[in-house]
Amino acid sequence: MTTRFDVLTIGNAIVDVIAPIDDKFLVDESLRKSIMHLVDADRSADLYAKMPETKSIIPGGSSANTAAGVAALGGRAAFVGKVAEDELGLVFRDDFDTKGIHYETAYLRDDVATARSMILVTPDGERTMNTYLGACQHLTEDDIVEETVGASAITYMEGYLWDPPQAKKAFIMAAHYAHKNERAAAITLSDPFCVNRFRNEFLDLIKSKTMDYVFANIEEVKALYETDDLNVAVRQLAEDAEIAAVTMGARGAMAIKNGEIVSVPAFPVSNVVDVTGAGDLFASGFLLATARGQSMEEALKLGCLAASEVISHYGARPVADLKALARGEGIAV
Domain count, the chain: 1
Is 238 a domain residue?
yes
Is 44 a domain residue?
yes
Cβ distance 203 to 240 under 8 Å? Answer: yes
60-86: pLDDT as tens digits: 999 999 999 999 999 999 999 999 998
Between the alpha carbon of residue 103 and those of residues 14, 94, 95, 99, 234, the distances in Å are 14, 10, 10, 11, 35
**DSSP assignments along 8-45, one per residue:** EEES--EEEEEEE--HHHHHHTT--TT-EEE--HHHHH
Choose the most confident range, by mean pLDDT, from 15-24, 78-87, 150-159.
150-159
- Looking up residue 30, the CATH number of its domain turns out to be 3.40.1190.20
Structural domain containing residue 293: 5-328
Task: Give dist(CA 275, CA 230) in Å, integer.
Answer: 21
Is 333 a domain residue?
no
Across the beta sheet with 115-121, what order do the strands follow?
36-38, 127-132, 115-121, 14-20, 56-60
**DSSP assignments along 54-71, one per residue:** --EEEEE-HHHHHHHHHH
Helix (H) or strand (E) holding 80: strand 77-80
Is 125 a domain residue?
yes
Backbone angles phi and psi of 131, in degrees to 5? -115, 125
240-296: pLDDT as tens digits: 999 999 999 999 999 999 889 999 999 999 999 988 899 999 999 999 999 999 999
Q: Which one-letter DSSP state was computed for residue 134? A: G
pTM score: 0.90
Query: Alpha helices of 87-210 — where are they, by DSSP H?
Result: 87-99, 146-150, 165-180, 192-207
